[in-house]
Amino acid sequence: MNRVAEIFGVSRVLLPVIHPVGRDEAVASVEVAVAAGVKGVFVINQGMSEQQVLALMRDLHGRHPTLWVGVNLLGFAPAEVLERGLQAGDGRLDGIWSDNARIDEDAAQQPEAAAFVAARRERGWNGLYFGGVAFKYQREVADAKLEWAARLARGYMDVVCTSGPGTGHEARVEKVAAMRAGLGTDGALALASGVTTENVGNFLPYVDAYLVGTGIEAQLGVLDAGRVAALHRKISS
């Protein structure tokens, strides 16, 4: 059993990404996600500062104690997000997502990735770490090395997270399949760009967690109830 199945109790999960253009809009979007039956969400500091996002995370814990809430703080190293998140959440931090997990498939050692492993061990943190590998706007990974990059990354994170070439752009199925091959059946793989109800079927055999914003928004920061519900049904089927 991989960590996604362990935490969420299902083999595949939709985690809507909330772009908090404002607190009220963010809370309303989370309510849309909860009404659709999703098990968790991610909040990201695009539209709010990191302090505001962490305050929102804590507010969401109060509103929906059983909802899993992960954070992506762009511009901050995972170890710093861990420290800030635990402090802001009074010890509760469900998940961290980093666009760049600092995996170098050509290197013998992974010192930056290992630093986070040490930090979480020191804090006794057992949340989910989604680490970006072959991720949009980061260093590219050659197709021939995707399988190895995923296999290598598995030792440093709970969920290997990849994407298409840009925000809202679909990933190549061949890329996702290669990374799944590297992770095996017990590793967890997330996809974080370009997923829609129209194309999600292409990825269902390979991906465990779907981090979706653009594909389920009516406009930036505002989730569309129909799109969320429809995508949740397809992923959960």
Q: State residue 139's pLDDT score.
A: 87
**Which pLDDT band, with edges at 50, 70 and 90, does 137 fall under?**
confident
**How far is Cα 134 from Cα 71, in angstroms, rounded to an integer?**
20
For residues 104-140, b (16+ Cβ closer than 10 Å) or e, as one string?
Answer: ebeeeebebbeebbebbeeeebebbbbbbbbbbeeee
Long-range contacts at 108-113 (CB < 8 A, ≥ 24 apart): 110/152, 110/156, 113/153, 113/156, 113/157
CA-based nearest residue to 68, from 100, 33, 99: 33
Query: Residue 190, CB half-sphere, CA atoms under 13 Å: how many?
Result: 32
Q: What's the mean per-residue pLDDT of the chain? A: 96
Q: State residue 82's pLDDT score.
A: 98
CA quadruple 131, 61, 45, 190: dihedral sign: positive
Q: State yes or no: pLDDT of 166 exceeds 80.
A: no
**Which pLDDT band, with edges at 50, 70 and 90, does 237 fall under?**
confident
Q: What is the mean pLDDT of residues 5-34?
A: 96
